[in-house]
Amino acid sequence: MGNPWFIKRDECPACASGNCKTIYQAEYDKPPIKDYLTAFYLPQGVVEFEYLEGATYMLVECSSCGMIFQKYIPNEFLMAKLYDQWIDSQKAFSSNRYGKGLGYYAGYAQEIMQLIAYFGENPSALSFLDFGMGWGNWALMAKAFGCDSVGLELSKERIENAKLNAIKVIAWDEITRHRFDFINTEQVFEHIPEPLQTLRYLKSSLKKDGMIKISVPSANDINRRLKIMDWQAQKGARNCLNAVAPLEHINCFRRTSLVVMANKAGMEEVIIPIKLQYRYSTDWSSAGKIVRNILRPIYRNILEKQNYLFFRNIQ
Footprint of Zn ion (CB under 5 A): 12, 14-15, 17, 62, 64-65, 67
Between CA 59 and CA 67, with CA 61 as vertex, the angle to 5 degrees is 110
Nearer CB in complex with Zn ion: 62/142:
62
Q: Shortest approach of Zn ion to residue 258 CB, angstroms?
A: 11
Q: Shortest approach of Zn ion to residue 90 CB, angstroms?
A: 39
CA separation for the pair 114, 273 (Å, rounded): 9
Helices 102-119 and 137-144: angle between axes, nearest 10 degrees? 50
Nearer CB in complex with Zn ion: 12/162:
12
Q: What is the DSSP string of 110-139?
A: HHHHHHHHHHTS-GGG-EEEEET-TTSHHH
Nearer CB in complex with Zn ion: 206/219:
219
Beta bridge mates, 251? 69
Sheet with 251-252: strands ordered across = 20-27, 56-62, 68-70, 251-252
The answer to whether 106 and 283 have CB atoms below 8 angstroms apart is: yes
Nearer CB in complex with Zn ion: 266/273:
266
Nearer CB in complex with Zn ion: 33/68:
68
Q: Measured between alpha carbons, how far is residue 58 from residues 61, 94, 114, 216, 226 in Å?
A: 10, 33, 39, 20, 12
Q: Shortest approach of Zn ion to residue 17 CB, angstroms?
A: 5
83-86-87-89 Cα dihedral, nearest 10 degrees: 90
Q: Shortest approach of Zn ion to residue 263 CB, angstroms?
A: 12
Nearer CB in complex with Zn ion: 206/259:
259
Q: Shortest approach of Zn ion to residue 190 CB, angstroms?
A: 15
Q: Shortest approach of Zn ion to residue 127 CB, angstroms?
A: 32
Beta strand residue intervals within 156-313, DSSP E: 168-169, 180-186, 206-215, 251-252, 267-270, 308-313
